[in-house]
Chain A
Amino acid sequence: MFKGDFISNLPKIYGTYTGGFLLFVILMAILEQMGVGADTIGILFVAFTVFIYAAIGFLSRTMEVGAYYVAGRQVPTVFNGMATAADWMSGASFVAMAGGIYFGGHGYLAFVVGWTGGYILVASLMAPYLRKFGCYTVPDFIGTRYGGKLSRFCAVVILVVASFTYVTAQINATGTIASRALQIPFEVGVWFGLLGILLCSMLGGMRAVTWTQVAQYIVLIIAYLVPVFWMSNKQGFGLIPQLVYGDAVARITELEQLHGLGTLEAVSGAAGGLRALTVPYAEAGQGVLASWKFVTLVLCMMAGTASLPHILMRYFTTPSVKAARQSVAWSLFFIFLLYCTAPALATFVKLQILDPNLATSLIGKSITEVNSLEWVQKWSNVGFLQVIDANGDGILQLNEFFMRGDIVVLATPEIAGLPYVISGLVAAGGMAAAMSTADGLLLAIANALSHDLYYKIIDPNAETKKRLLVARALLLIIGAAGAFVASLKLTSILGAVAWAFDFACSGLLFPIVLGIWWKRANRQGAIAGMIGGFVAGTWYLYMVRFAGMDPWIGIDHLRFGIIGMPVSLVCMVVVSLMTPEPDAEIQAMVDDTRVPVGKTVIETQTAK
C-alpha cells in the first residue's frame, strides 16, 4: 500500500488516518444508537485518540540529534503548517475562545486579531532567516549570532519563563478534559494528561511531536467544525455558518435591548468563575482609551506570537528557506479555519439562548422550565452554570443566568440537541488541542535546557547519546513540574496564556529581529535588550497585578509587553551604539543569513 519513503507517502498516510478517525466516529454513533451510555463513549473517544498519538510518538522514536531537535529538517510545507496550527491552538483557543467572545463581544476579538496577524511578523521578519541560520533552538540563534555564554543564557531564561507559564495552563486543560471524560479526579487527570503528552514526545523529540501534532490538528479541526456546521444547519441558520451570522449579530443587539442589558442590576451570589452577560456584543468601546486598549492587546499578542520559541522552532524543521516561508502561510491558513469559526459559534449560541422565537431560548422563560432542561441540569451539577432567581418572579432574566465561558464550546452539541457522539468528539478535540500545545512547549523548554544550557554552556564535549538522554530526562522533570504547578490551580487559564506572550515579546522580540535586520546589533546590546525588556515587563506585571499599582493609561496585566518592548528596544539600540560594532566574521554571518541559497550559517561555521 505504501511504496517509497515515509515523507512521500505522507498524504496517503494522513488520508488513511483521517478516514480511520471518521470511521471511528461513525462506529461510536452506531454504539450510541445501540444504547451504549454517554460516559462510555466519552471514555472511548479520549482513550482511543490518546492511544493513537502515543503510538505515533513511539513509531517516531530516534537516537539522531538532527531528528530529535529539528525532525531531520524534512517536514513538507503543508504538514508543517498543520503541525504548527496544532502547536499554536491551545486548550484556551479550543475551549475558551468562543466563550470569551460570547461574554466579551467586540473587545475580546482583540485576541482573535492578535493571535492571527502575528504570523505576518513571523513570515516577514523571522522564520525564513532563522531557518537559513540552521539553529536547533531560539537561544541557539541568539548565542551564535551575538556570541558568548551570557547572551545564550539570558535567552534560555526568558524562554523557560514564557513557555512554563504557558505549559502549566495546557497541562491544566488536559487534566480538566481527561478528568471529565474519564470521570477521574482532576489531580489524577493532570498526571494522566502528562503521561499522554510525554508518550508523544519523549522517544522521538521534534520528529515525534511533529507527526503527532499533524494527527492532533486533524482531530481538533474536525471536532471544532463538525458541531458548528451541524448546529447551523439543524437550527436553520445557514449552510456555511461563518458567512451567515451577520444578521444574527444584528439580532443580538436588538435582543440585548429587549432583555434590558446594561439596565439590570448585577445579581450577586454566583459561584466563582461564573458570569452573567453584561457587555454589549457588537458595540465597540467609545473613545480613545477603548481603541488604545484594543490595539495594545493586539500588538502584544502579535509580537508575542513572533517571539514564542515553540512556534519559531517549528520552522526549523522545513527542508528549505522557501518552504519555511510558505509553511508560515499554511500555518495561518489552518489556524484561520478555527479562528473564523469561533465568533460564528459564539454568536449562534448567544442567539439560541437569548432569542425568544427559538425553541432553545432560556432568557424570559420560567425558572422551572429552564431548570428542567437536561443540559442545564447536567452543567449545573458540575458547577459550570447557575440560575439565581434574584427578584423571585419565577422568570429568568439576563442578569440571573450565570455560566462559565467554556460551556459555549463544550455544551453546543447538547444545546442544539445533537447526539452524544458529538460531545465525545468535542472532548477529543479539546484534548488534542491542549496536548499538542503542551508537547511543543515542553519540548521547547527541554531542548533549550539540554542543547543550550547543558551542551553549549556546561559540557561542550558531551557525547550524542548523553545529550539525548539529558534532553529526555529534562522533558520528564519539566513535565512533572508543570503538572505539579497545574494541580495547584493558581491562575485562570487565560491570564497565564496572555502573560506568556508578554514575557516572550518583552525579552526576545528585538534581540531576534535586530539580530537579522540590524548588522550593527552586538552582544552587549542584545544582553541589555533581553535583560532590560524582561525585567521592566516583569516589574510592571508585578506592580499592576500583585502590588496594587494603578495601570498606566489602561495598560493592565494582560498588556505588560507594551512596557517591556520599548524598554528592550531602547536598551538594545543605545548599548549597541555605545559599544564596538560586531567583528567582520559576525557581519558576514548576518549577510549569509539574508540570502536563502547555500548551506546554513551553522554548517558553514562548524566547517571552518
Chain B
Amino acid sequence: MNEADNRLMHWQSTKRLMIITLSLWAFFSFVVHWFADALNAFSFLGFPLGFYMAAQGSEVAFVIIIFWFARAQHKIDLQYGFAEEE
C-alpha cells in the first residue's frame, strides 16, 4: 500500500469515527431533550427522567463519549502509523 492510499484510509477511518461520535453527541444533546416532557413520565433514581437527563444524564454520557473518542482516535492513528512517538 502506498503512502497516499494509507493517508486516505486513515482519513476515512477518522471521518467515520467523527460521524459516530457526533451522532452520539447529537442524540444526547438534542434528541433526548426534545422529548423531555414525555420522558418526565418515567422515573429514574427518583428523578423525573427528562429532568435527570438534562441535569446529569447527558453530562455523564458526554464524559464517557469523549474519553472513548480519544482512545479510539489514537487507535486509528496507531493502526496507520500516524501516531506520534512518545
Cα A466 to Cα B75 in complex, Å, equals: 44
Chain B, residues 43-76, CB within 8 Å of chain A (1/0): the string is 1111110111011101110110111011001100
Is A234 an interface residue, CB under 8 A from the partner? no
Cα A125 to Cα B50 in complex, Å, equals: 29
**A336 and B59 within 8 A (CB):** yes
Chain A, residues 111-122, CB within 8 Å of chain B (1/0): the string is 011001101110
Q: What residue of chain A has the Cβ atom nearest to residue B40's Cβ?
A: A284
A110, A124, A322: the one within 8 Å of B21 (CB): A124
Shortest B54–chain A CB gap in Å is 4
The size of the chain A interface, using a CB distance under 8 A, is: 54
**B30 and A120 within 8 A (CB):** no
The size of the chain B interface, using a CB distance under 8 A, is: 49
**B58 and A329 within 8 A (CB):** no
Of A179-187, A242-250, A470-478, A535-543, the one touching chain B: A242-250
Cα A513 to Cα B46 in complex, Å, equals: 41
**A295 and B70 within 8 A (CB):** no
A110, A121, A291, A329: the one within 8 Å of B70 (CB): A329
A120, A298, A333: the one within 8 Å of B69 (CB): A120
**B66 and A594 within 8 A (CB):** no
**A294 and B45 within 8 A (CB):** no
**A246 and B66 within 8 A (CB):** no
Q: What residue of chain A has the Cβ atom nearest to residue B37's Cβ?
A: A284
**B83 and A597 within 8 A (CB):** yes
Given A112-B59, A325-B73, A117 and B50 touching (CB < 8 A)?
Answer: no
Q: B residues near A, CB below 8 A?
A: 7, 10-11, 14, 17-18, 21-22, 25, 28-30, 33-37, 39-40, 43-48, 50-52, 54-56, 58-60, 62-63, 65-67, 69-70, 73-74, 77, 81-85
A sample of 10 inter-chain contacts (CB < 8 A) reads A112-B59, A113-B33, A117-B25, A120-B69, A284-B37, A290-B37, A294-B36, A322-B74, A326-B70, A328-B70
Given contacts A110-B33, A120-B69, A247-B46, 7 further A-B contacts (CB under 8 A): A113-B33, A119-B62, A283-B40, A329-B70, A333-B63, A340-B59, A343-B55
Q: A residues near B, CB below 8 A?
A: 101, 106, 109-110, 112-113, 116-117, 119-121, 123-125, 128, 242-243, 245-247, 249-250, 253, 281-286, 290-291, 294-295, 298-299, 302, 320-322, 325-326, 328-329, 332-333, 336, 339-340, 343, 591, 594-597
